Amino acid sequence: MAAPVRATLGRRERILKAAEFKAVFGARARASDGRLVAYAMPNARDVTRVGLSVGKRCGGAVVRARVRRLLREAFRRARAEFPRGYDVVLVPVAGPFTLADIDQSIRRLVPEAIRRAERKGQAGPSIGPAVGRE
């Protein structure tokens, strides 16, 4: 019997250090749609990592925790569509937030932010889209 596939984002798929967040914000390659802002920059890894920056303007602690869960789930579902080798930071701007809205925004904004990062001369690895990632 095969082991069940974990549907989570592991440590190697998340941005955790403040310096890494600062570097992605500093790269200034972003895309937004009024609900969400996606920042991107290439990394020297074989995975696309995600970081979340959910500020108090989104609501109280309970609301922010829910928004973080929705962002992680939407990114986890869509990550196979994105090229590998990038750091992406997602910043929610305005609510209310639903999984469907966030999913739609992420699928549109992350590729655009990655394209802008490439245009700024921050050429990332040309590994191509993630194929076969669970």
Q: What is the pLDDT along the chain (134 residues), one digit of tens a residue?
A: 555 555 788 888 999 999 999 999 999 999 999 899 999 999 989 999 999 999 998 889 999 999 999 999 999 999 999 999 999 999 999 878 899 999 999 999 999 999 999 888 644 444 444 444 44
Alpha-helix residue ranges (DSSP H) falling in the chain: 18-27, 61-78, 99-119
Q: Would you state the pLDDT for residue 124?
A: 47
Q: Would you state the pLDDT for residue 26?
A: 93
* SS3 category, 21: helix
Helix (H) or strand (E) holding 51: strand 49-52
Q: Would you state the pLDDT for residue 10?
A: 84
Name the residue type at position 61: A
- CA dist 48 and 67 (Å) reads 20
pTM reported for the whole predicted model: 0.83
Q: Would you state the pLDDT for residue 1?
A: 57
Say if residues 87 and 40 touch (Cβ distance below 8 Å): yes
- CA dist 71 and 66 (Å) reads 9
Domains defined for the chain, CATH in brackets: 13-119 (3.30.230.10)
Q: Would you state the pLDDT for residue 134?
A: 43
Cis? peptide before 111, omega within 30° of 0: no
Say if residues 124 and 114 touch (Cβ distance below 8 Å): yes
